[in-house]
Amino acid sequence: MTHETISAVGIDLGTTYSAVAILDESGNPKTLPNSEGDLTTPSILLFNDQDVVVGREAEAAKASRYSSIAEYTKRDLGKRSYHKQIEGFEYPPEALLAFILNKLRRDTAQEIGDFKQAVITVPAYFDETRRKATQDAGYLAGLDVLDIINEPTAAALAYGHQQADGEVNKTVLVYDLGGGTFDVTIVQIEDREYRALATDGDVQLGGVDWDQRLVDFLADHCIQQLGQDPRNEPNSTGHLWQVARKLKHSLTEFEEAMATIELQQQTLTITVTRQQFEELTADLLERTRFTTSQTVKAAGLEWSDISHVLLVGGSTRMPAVSQMLQNESQLMPDHSVSPDEAVAHGAALHAGRLLEKLSGRPPSFQVQNVNSHTLGVVGMDPETKRPRTARIIPRNTGLPITARREFRIRPGQESIKLEIVEGESRSPEACESIGTCRIRGIPTPLPDNAAAEVFFKYRDDGRLSVKVRIKGTDIILDNDFVRENTMTQEQLDIWREYITGI
């Protein structure tokens, strides 16, 4: 790869920490420091009057300005607003993420000059709505989002690249336990082709849940010994979270550690052992074990078919994670790629690959992902007369893929309304609604038994588009695909001007 690949950037937009990488002149990824000189930026915001502070300074303010803090925003993507008000205002989650991306963009520009193009990573288990929201966040931050790529796939790219000659033939299980989300993906690597076989995960499971167990454990001790619950006051809550995270990091390195809590001029010091911590969080680890085992089965494999277990995400530093995976796989989990940098490195490699394609050169490697959720439409069961999900594209289907479905048109019918969902249940209520697609402009008259052919296309990035035509004709129908909980273009433009102007 040539120096021009530096014009594209790979961004690991994490729940708790984010990182940025580029390709150097030799085509090797490297992480760029932020304006504070750190390789990762805390994904946390402090609202201070008209100013928004992102990163280390915001993190330090948790114990003094907790009600003005926004964190773990990525978990709220796909919702209309962040789960709490900040200084009396409601914020769309993608706008909060855009503040983080805006800092990353500005800090990166100090290193490489102005740029627009970037690849942003997403959890493999993100649904279509969350993927759209991530792309919108990039737009709000003034970026031209070249693509979004699944985090485990990006990590596999980083792993494959760092092999001696860049060529490897392995079936790799990527176990990605980040601060707020968990993914597991099985990737078949053959020379320079990366093909995902199966993926699964949980967008509400990550290191923050391990922190929560320590927060509750420490709070119980405060109640018992001091007669006060620090969770009842915002700044004490922020302080408790800081103590819990520091304690978790210490227990990752040592068999026991001390936590000191300051609460209304009282001090409590508690000694916690690693064994206690692991007992408190055993069910969380078991959830990842079960999901990992199910993913191996979904790929049609046995553990003996897995040749490599790759650990990604800062939470994989907890010793219990490696021990569990070693017991399951009979393999020694691989820490050779940096848990904090691998995803950003893979995103930078993918950005370089896209620029190669755009310039007319053959790409250095090929990537194929799978969809993490079954796509369907809501219909009526003819027997029960109850709503039922009609499956169109099953989960773990190789992307891109286009599926076709016919819908009968009644005489005189002028439009068709489809509710599009993602999920594995036959019950629409148990699935996530992506949005509605209204097909308009049906011509009349039409022959009896006329049908509309609806083509659902999943792109490489897991995004959906819909095309409709009258069967047996060249008539293409208009369709309005209205997504749930997304901003209008006018709203996006207003937020973009505000965020990039701060």
Which segments of 309-383 does DSSP mark as H helices, in order?
Answer: 319-329, 342-358
DSSP, collapsed to helix, strand or coil, labels residue 488 as coil
Angstrom distance (rounded) from CA 106 to CA 63: 27
pLDDT of residue 413: 87
Give the domain ranges of the chain.
3-205+285-370, 375-485
DSSP, collapsed to helix, strand or coil, labels residue 109 as helix
| CATH class for the region spanning 3-205+285-370 | alpha beta
Alpha carbon 117 to chain centroid, angstroms? 19
Q: What are phi and psi of 23, to 5 degrees?
A: -100, 135
Per CATH, 3-205+285-370 and 375-485 having the same topology is answered: no
Q: Where are the beta strands (DSSP E) in 43-139?
A: 44-48, 51-54, 69-71, 117-122
Low-confidence ranges of the chain (pLDDT < 70): 1-6, 164-167
72 DSSP assignment = -
Q: What are phi and psi of 183, to 5 degrees?
A: -135, 150
pLDDT of residue 441: 85
pLDDT of residue 354: 95
Return the amino acid letter for 114.
D
pLDDT of residue 166: 58
CATH superfamily of 375-485: Substrate Binding Domain Of DNAk; Chain A, domain 1 (2.60.34.10)
User: DSSP assignment of 447-476, as one string?
Assistant: -TT-EEEEEEEE-TTS-EEEEEEETTS-PE
Give kind and range of the element (H or E) at residue 177.
strand 168-177
pTM assigned to the model: 0.94
